[in-house]
């Protein structure tokens, strides 16, 4: 059995938060960076992530008690995901925060809600970001750090890019050669072109403070990594690599896995990540069995399901995606799934019907 080390939750999460933002990594205390007249944008993850925003946001706003609530906007970094419903938002941030603060669902498909922050050059499109984020005087990013199948690790600037970016820039970031690069993989920061582009684009607009956490499987906070975006993120990634990743002596013919439960396994699109993790340790021609609820389906929005139905085999998917000029929303997740299917057979135990999965 391969599993992360179990790291116990912090005995007093709120006090640990206060210490982390008052004695941050690589920069000054949070409260000293934000003035009472500043307009503040706080970026959080959407409902597909296990970020404990309902705990973090009240602690943050207590630390920023000198800033009136009407000057603070919470921006949900949806990337290309669907908007979160009012009920989902209340569950994510808590009823009190949902009532008192302005909350914006980022919409990568609506240019009218964004501002261009960098002109295009060559094949690189102009970079636009959520207007509420760009027009703020101060910007705070909240996220959590775990191994990521393309970026090496989540957290850091990933809250901004692709979180609050425009569709064209997200598509360029997810292009086939980037996703297929051998260093765009789990646990790799140095030389990872995906992480490099996240940092390049994420820093196009200044970020004033990072709040990143690590979690155990009980959703308890095990550590805070706060302060300068790069310094705090890299320290968190160092710890996560030691605790959440395990060496494997050899590949196995059969690997049984999950996508870590709710909210990470709510659809097949997100559950590809669990398959990709298993693919790291499965033998060529082996089998992966994954349990994932998939109560949100494939999902219905986006092109993921459409692309899966359009091709007769994994190799056909890869050939189409790598064809010159091919660009389609969600192609990156299809590409990662196809790479797994070329290597191994995958069996899925979920709420999807067998006919849907076939």
- The C-alpha atoms of residue 117 and residue 200 are separated, in whole angstroms, by 12
- The C-alpha atoms of residue 71 and residue 75 are separated, in whole angstroms, by 13
Matching CATH number, 252-357, of 3.30.70.1400, 1.10.1660.10, 3.90.226.30, 3.40.50.450:
3.90.226.30
Torsion of CA 299, 301, 302, 307, to 10 degrees: 60
- Position 357 scores a pLDDT of 83
- Position 2 scores a pLDDT of 87
Q: pTM value?
A: 0.91
State the catalytic residue, choosing from 106, 148, 174, 233: 148
Contact criterion met (CB below 8 Å) for 79 and 49: no
**What average pLDDT values come out for the chain (358 residues) when binned by 10 residues?**
92 98 98 97 93 97 98 97 95 97 97 97 94 98 96 98 97 93 96 97 98 96 98 98 93 95 90 95 97 94 92 95 92 95 97 88
For residue 279, give the nearest of 190, 342, 189 by alpha carbon.
Answer: 342
- Position 110 scores a pLDDT of 97
State the catalytic residue, choosing from 81, 106, 172, 233: 81
- Position 317 scores a pLDDT of 96
Beta carbons within 8 Å of 332's beta carbon, 6+ residues apart: 150, 174, 179
Task: Give phi and psi for 356, each to the nearest 5.
Answer: -65, -45
Q: Which residues in 152-167 are b (16+ Cβ under 10 Å) and which e?
A: bbbbbbbbbbbbbbbb
**Burial of 285 from C-beta contacts in 10 A (0-12 / 13-18 / 19+):** exposed
**E strand intervals along 234-325:** 252-258, 282-291
Active site residue 217: no
- Position 185 scores a pLDDT of 95
For the domain covering 13-244, report its CATH number: 3.40.50.11440
CB atoms under 10 Å from CB of 294, counted, come to 23
- The C-alpha atoms of residue 17 and residue 39 are separated, in whole angstroms, by 22
- Position 179 scores a pLDDT of 92
- Position 178 scores a pLDDT of 93
Active site residue 262: no
Q: Where are the domains of the chain?
A: 13-244, 252-357
């Amino acid at each position: 059995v391969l599993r992360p080390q179990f790291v116990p939750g912090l005995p007093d999460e709120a006090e640990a938060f206060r210490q982390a933002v008052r004695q941050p990594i690589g920069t000054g205390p949070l409260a000293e960076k934000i003035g009472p007249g500043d307009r503040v944008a706080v970026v959080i993850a959407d409902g597909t992530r296990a970020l404990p925003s309902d705990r973090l946001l009240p602690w943050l706003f207590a630390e920023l008690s000198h800033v009136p609530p009407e000057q603070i906007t919470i921006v949900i970094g949806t990337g290309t995901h669907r908007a979160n419903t009012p009920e989902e938002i209340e569950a994510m941030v808590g009823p009190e925060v949902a009532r008192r603060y302005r909350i914006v669902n980022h919409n990568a498909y609506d240019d009218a809600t964004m501002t261009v922050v960098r002109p295009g050059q060559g094949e690189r499109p102009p970079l636009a970001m959520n207007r509420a984020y760009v027009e703020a005087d101060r910007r705070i990013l909240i996220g959590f750090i775990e191994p990521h199948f393309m970026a090496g690790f989540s957290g850091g600037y990933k809250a901004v890019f692709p979180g609050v970016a425009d569709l064209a820039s997200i598509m360029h970031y997810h292009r086939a050669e980037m996703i297929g690069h051998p260093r765009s993989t789990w646990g790799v920061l140095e030389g990872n072109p995906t992480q490099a582009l996240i940092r390049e684009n994420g820093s196009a607009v200044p970020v004033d403070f990072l709040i990143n956490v690590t979690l155990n499987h009980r959703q308890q906070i095990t550590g805070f990594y706060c302060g300068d975006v790069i310094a705090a993120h890299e320290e968190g990634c160092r710890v996560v690599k030691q605790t959440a990743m395990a060496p494997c002596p050899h590949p196995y013919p059969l690997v049984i896995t999950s996508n870590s439960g709710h909210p990470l396994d709510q659809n097949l699109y997100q559950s590809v990540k669990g398959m990709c993790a298993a693919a790291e340790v499965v033998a060529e021609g082996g089998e992966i069995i994954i349990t994932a609820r998939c109560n949100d389906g494939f999902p219905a929005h986006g092109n993921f399901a459409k692309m899966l139905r359009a091709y007769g085999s994994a190799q056909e998917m890869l050939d189409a995606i790598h064809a010159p000029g091919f660009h389609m929303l969600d192609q990156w997740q299809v590409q990662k799934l196809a790479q797994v299917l070329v290597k191994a057979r995958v069996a899925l135990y979920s709420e999807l019907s067998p006919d849907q999965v076939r």
